[in-house]
Amino acid sequence: MFVVVLTIVSLSVCGALALIGGALAVTLRDPIYAVLALVKAMLGLAGIYFLLGAEYVGAIQVIVYAGAILVTFLFVVMLVNLSPEDIPPFPRGIALYGNLILAVAWLLLLSTALSAILEIPAPEQVLLHVEPLPYLYGTLPPLGKALFTAYAFPFELLSVTLLIGIVGASLLVQKRPSS
């Protein structure tokens, strides 16, 4: 009982952290604070990943997302000298309220559709093969085994994606030719 309450409380805290971080990231005027708020959201998400039993994915989330991607964002914000004065204010009037109503309507639609999850047909009703795992999904052994057997080819293709990122970035950030 205690463990269940603890899980629910920590999930709520992490979820609140993620939501508040996300809300701040899309509202703060100062781009540096916005990026830092997104780091906070990422950390909250990593906490949820841990609580869902995927320790490895949570660690990667902290290292790659919060540690690498968003730090690159910070570098670029500083490189292009983006200050709060450069950020145009939120639109007023119809543009603001229209978009807000749109977002709330979208959220309502989403959560209505999601409530179907509560009466989702059991997998054996619709699946032909159900192969339950003898271990917990998110630990390193099943992930590593899957990554280097069944998912070996996508994994290799992902290295091509990274190469495209490197080559593409080096193409894009070249200096303007002097001629």
Residues 114-143 close enough to bind another protein by CB under 8 A: 114-118, 120-121, 123, 125-130, 132-133, 136-138, 142-143
Question: Is there a contact between 25 and 108 (Cβ–Cβ < 8 Å)?
Answer: no
Member of 6, 9, 78, 107 binding another protein (CB under 8 A): 107
Would you mind telling me the total number of residues written for the chain in this entry?
179
> With the C-alpha atoms ordered 35, 41, 47, 51, is the resulting torsion angle positive or negative?
negative
Does 83 participate in binding another protein (rule CB under 8 A)?
no
Residue numbers 37-56 binding another protein by CB under 8 A? 38, 41-42, 45, 48-49, 52-54, 56
CB of 155 to another protein, least distance (A): 8
Closest Cα partner for 24 from 11, 35, 13, 10?
35
Distances (CA, A) of 25 to 43, 45, 63, 67, 90: 13, 14, 19, 17, 14
Does 22 participate in binding another protein (rule CB under 8 A)?
yes
Size of the site for another protein (CB under 8 A): 105
Does 84 participate in binding another protein (rule CB under 8 A)?
no
Member of 6, 9, 78, 163 binding another protein (CB under 8 A): 163
Residue 82: other Cβ atoms inside 10 A: 14
